[in-house]
Structure 1
């Protein structure tokens, strides 16, 4: 009896939605009551290919001219008739965007939408025992009405009860992600996952783009050594030795126990011809010991060769 089955699903989806209830009863003061990102592109999905369609919409909203068809071989798994979250994140980076998952909270999702970023989510639109997984793009909400607005499947503007949305979304453990232009960061992201995402982005991006991303991370978390080293490494890879030296100096000043910061600084200063400073940095890296000591000794040997050449 399909009618009865449908009624049963709707009843099960309309129960208590704890995040929705808490958010609507005591909404964050920094959240507007209603938001809709009407300019978000819409791409109707092909059969089983909601992943490529949702990701293409997300990337286009971030300024990347990407076709859903081009994403199919990157994310779609025919044997599963769908796409895995890890492939969605990787494909976002592969196409130039800084992509990362969001905290598994409804208020975090709404905060990103309020900041102007559509959020890609994964739902189970059926029962847990017979899942129907589906990717969609959240483009708006209405706290007063209790609605979520999505680009979903063949529907350009789907309005779903927030409580129903929470139930379908909870079955993916509240998984969501954003794709952003280099230099932008999610509003709600914490430091540790942001660093992980920035490192992953660097592996798939040209140095100039990764450099923008690291600079944005350092602006938000100025004391983070991994970000300072990442900024130095990407500046170095882009051929900007002066900027690389500045980043490494910052990292070594903030973290005077970091052998890699001092060794990288020594290498860069040597290439800039600043040999006395390079020697001091290499000697400090050696004095700190650890697994970088051998590399620092090699750096010091190179500096000594450069010093001898200068003397002749």
Structure 2
């Protein structure tokens, strides 16, 4: 019943654009005016900013992973460093979920909600870059400053304009890493869905299911989270649970041909032959001539 990738909408590519002139204004509008998270600091060894920052960011959500584990996941000997994609893939291998933080206001919002933000900076210049991962742990809107765990310095205080420039020179890349059931308020449906699907792809079934379950709460009109849960349950051999989620998915998208087909197969495998045949007829009735031929060849009853 591997149809999830056929049904889910195309995932959006996250842009990096942000309004430059709003940084200071966004910060001065923050309430509270100062917020600094209590995140334990780890000093960085040479070229190890990636794994160290990921460890600090996930120390509460995945404490079982040691710094050595994260070095193994993210550090590339051939370049003596860590790529941005390594941070995201490692987070998912840990059973966690990364979410893009696309703007200054989103950064302050995440800090206010208790989530540190992994930021990628260019501490050099465009023609001689010095790439670096830091952890944004706080801000002070009165002093126009932010606080970073970075390099060998805890709570480094840096002016907002300087921070903005280093972040933008780094490609405006920043993420939070959350437990799977913790979907940030400003996260999009597409990004949550992408996380669930990628977790499922690397056989992180339990956290994938937790994302889908939370998506049902956050996006109650969408059928896709139910379909994702159905696929997980089906892979686990729990066909009754898969059937229940597929039925719910169809109530949220009546007449969806692939859902009808999927449900007919599940009814058949659960021994409800008459119901399976009814859904088969409905599937074929909704199908275009081209689709009808394809679906007829896939039915075995």
Tell me the TM-score normalized by structure 1. 0.82
Q: Distance in 1 between matches of 2:291 and 2:51?
A: 43
How far apart, CA to CA, are the structure 1 residues paired with 2:27 and 2:52?
30
Unaligned runs of 5+ in 1: 1-15, 305-312
Q: Is the 8 A contact 1:259 1:292 kept in 2?
A: no
Offset, 1:50: 0.3
Deviations 1:190-218 (A, max 9, x none): 22233223222221243222111111122
Q: How does 1:52-63 map to 2 (within 5 A)?
A: 52-63=51-62
Residue 99 of structure 2: aligned partner:
100
Gaps of 5+ in 2: 1-18
Alignment of 1:8-47 (within 5 A): 18-25=21-28, 27=29, 31-38=31-38, 40-47=39-46
Structure 1 range deviating more: 42-51 or 65-74: 65-74
Q: Deviations over 1:248-302 (max 9, x none)?
A: 112222223422212222222233333332222233223333687567446642x
Quick check: which one's helix share is greater? 1
Between 1:120-129 and 1:56-65, the stretch displaced more is 56-65
Secondary structure at 1:160 match in 2: strand
Q: Over the residues paired in the alignment, what is the CA RMSD in angstroms?
A: 2.4
**1:180 pairs with 2:183:** no
Per-residue CA distance 1:175-202 (angstroms, 9 max, x = gap): 1112211211122212223322322222
The higher relative CO (CA closer than 8 Å, separation ≥ 6) is in 2
SS in structure 2 opposite 1:62? Answer: coil
**Equivalent residue, structure 2, for 1:9:** none
Residue 265 (1) aligns with residue 268 (2):
no
2:165 aligned counterpart, secondary structure: helix
Greater CA radius of gyration, 1 or 2? 1
Q: TM-score, normalised by structure 2?
A: 0.84
Contact 1:45–1:153 (8 Å) recurs in 2: yes
**2:59 counterpart SS class:** helix
Deviation per CA, 1:56-87, whole angstroms, max 9, x where unpaired? 11121323421222222322223333211111
Length, aligned pairs only: 282
| TM superposition shift of 1:151 | 1.4
